[in-house]
Amino acid sequence: MSAAANARAPAAPDRAALAFASLMASGVVWGLSWLPLKHFAAAGLGGHAIGLTAYSLVAAVSLPFIWRERAAWRGELPQLLLIGLFFGCANMAFTTALTLGSVVRAMLLFYLLPAWGALGGALFLRERLGARRLLAVGLSLGGVFAILGGASALRGTLSTADGMALAAGLCYAAAGVANRKALAIPLASRTLASFSGCTVAAVAALAFSTPALPHLPPATWAWLAAFAFVWLLGGTLLTTYGVTHVAASRAAVLQVVELLVAVLSAVWIGGEPLGAKEWIGGALIVLATLLEAGNTGGDAHG
């Protein structure tokens, strides 16, 4: 899951083809991220432990690059802190959801994003909710309602994985609102701040629980470091390049690619079931995401 997908970027037609290919590649990277996460979970590393290790490694490397851009973001430090913290909480919650439960359910519940993003923009940025955005909100809410089991969901309780997936989507949308409010923060700082935010969230969570760090062979720790710098950082760089040179409305389609890759791979590779409620809910959420993507940059401020 990439923070850069929420950043607004100017279009650059001469590089559009390469940038769009970069976005598609990053969608595949993020969509398949459940594979290494499930591998590490099987070895005994949960989402909290991965936040303390893999994300912290990338954060340590990212901080000098963020600091180098301090002259640009100094006047918007509160927004940068909110971007990093919300994206960080979203990453840790989403990682936990993927390691604990069904990939299909986690992805679909996370993509309540159109509703959270539209409502957050209306409340905090005074963005107008036209008929199209209201339809996207209704479709995404209907999709989640279907996935959770319809009316029966109102009588039950959410699993930890489901709750984490929903919380991740809410935090990601909140970071998107902070992202849209910021004007001068460079794209690199906006994106890399998420790793520091995840580290802060993971350290803060130690006040409530201490994750078990099992005795793993050196090869597993080496794979975790490779996941941090090749998968997490590599996917982030692909996304960052893409959103820098592609119109924001096209960059938003990345979310659909990531969703489809994750769900289809979880079914084909992971053997997860895909029942009628997931088909119906997923179709509604994909449609809502496409509608919301079409509104990127199109809603005026009141």
For residue 86, with 0-12 CB atoms within 10 Å meaning exposed, 13-18 middle and 19 or more buried, which class applies? Answer: buried
pLDDT of residue 7: 54
What does the pLDDT average to over 67-81?
94
Q: Is the pLDDT of residue 210 over 60?
A: yes
Read off the pLDDT of residues 133-175 as tens digits, 9 standing for 90 and up: 888 888 888 888 888 776 555 555 678 999 999 999 889 888 8
Region of 216 on the Ramachandran plot (φ > 0 left; ψ -120 to 50 alpha; else beta): beta
Q: Distance between CA 177 and CA 190 in Å, rounded?
A: 12
Residue 200 falls inside a structural domain = yes
Report the first-to-last Cα separation within the chain, whole angstroms.
Answer: 31
Count of domains for the chain: 1
Residue 106 falls inside a structural domain = yes
Residue 177 falls inside a structural domain = yes
Residue 160 falls inside a structural domain = yes
How many CA within 13 A on the CB side of residue 82? 15
Q: Is the pLDDT of residue 219 over 70?
A: yes
pLDDT of residue 192: 92
Residue 300 falls inside a structural domain = no
C-alpha distances (whole Å) from 10 to each of 200, 247, 251, 298 are 31, 6, 11, 14
pLDDT of residue 12: 45
Residue 191 falls inside a structural domain = yes
Read off the pLDDT of residues 7-52 as tens digits, 9 standing for 90 and up: 554 444 556 778 888 888 988 999 999 999 999 999 989 899 999 9
Q: Is the pLDDT of residue 70 over 80?
A: yes
Residue 66 falls inside a structural domain = yes
Read off the pLDDT of residues 190-208 as tens digits, 9 standing for 90 and up: 889 999 999 999 999 998 8
- What is the chain's Cα-based Rg? 18
pLDDT of residue 196: 95
115, 284 Cβ separation under 8 angstroms: no
Residue 26 falls inside a structural domain = yes
Q: Which domain holds residue 71?
A: 3-294
pTM (2 decimals)? 0.83
Confidence band for 299, pLDDT divided at 50, 70 and 90: very low
Read off the pLDDT of residues 240-283 as tens digits, 9 standing for 90 and up: 787 777 666 566 666 778 888 998 999 999 999 888 888 888 88
Classify 127 as helix, strand or coil. Answer: strand
